[in-house]
Amino acid sequence: MAVSLTRTAARIFIGALGLCAMISIAWAEDAAAPQAAPAKQGAADATGGNPPPSDDVKQIKLTDEQVTHFIAAQADLASIASKIQSAGDKPDPTLQTELEAIATKHGFTNFAELDDVAANISIVMAGLDATTGNFVDPVDALKKEREEVQKDSSIPEADKKQLLDELNEAISTTPKLQYKENVDLVKAHRAEIEKALQ
């Protein structure tokens, strides 16, 4: 039971990020690869001088316009997915230019803003119950699952240790939702978001 919930939560979180996050992660790794220290400085600069919370997610209060622009951008991002996969770990300035062009075409200042919107949408999507549509903060859900694993005497100790390690890592890298108003906004566009990310 515990394994399935963790894997499901991870799948939902990754799925909600969609192609935009895959691009962002690849791009960030490419930018960070040559020199780790300046990459950290760049991350701080992108957030106005403050390092972002957990796992470099800059949380923002979403607007309806940002969410609809994010949805509209998915088709263009999907059209260059194969180029991104082909590029692998190699930095590709042409591809970065294309990403910036897609972002500005869809009303974003730059790709970093589109990426921030994607990350904030994903935090909410990861916490939405597939059946009820109710939101539970992903960090709270992971902590509850950790408690259940700790109490479950039917799990062999080696498996329990591995599960707890995975859960602790997930808790430490999953950002807690800062802007509760994002929940209603994302819920209002949930069907469109899910369709766009398929």
Residue 46: Cβ-neighbour burial (10 angstroms; 0-12, 13-18, 19+): middle
% pLDDT > 70, the chain = 72
Confirm if 130 and 13 have CB atoms less than 8 A apart.
no
Q: Give residues with Cβ within 8 angstroms of 145, minimum separation 6.
A: 2, 5, 6, 167
* pLDDT tens per residue across span 95-136: 899 999 999 999 999 999 999 999 999 999 989 988 898 999
**Exposure letters 48-80 (e unless 16+ CB within 10 A, then b):** eeeebeeebbbbbebeeebbebbbebbebbeeb
Q: Quick one: pLDDT at residue 4?
A: 33
* pLDDT tens per residue across span 142-185: 999 999 999 999 999 999 999 999 999 999 988 889 999 999 99
d(CA 74, CA 91): 22
Q: Quick one: pLDDT at residue 56?
A: 66
Residue 10 Cα distances to 4, 51, 171, 173, angstroms: 10, 24, 11, 12
Q: Quick one: pLDDT at residue 105?
A: 97
Joined tokens for residue 175: 């950002």
Q: Quick one: pLDDT at residue 117?
A: 96
Q: Quick one: pLDDT at residue 155?
A: 94
* pLDDT tens per residue across span 181-193: 999 999 999 999 9
Mean predicted lDDT score pLDDT of the chain: 77
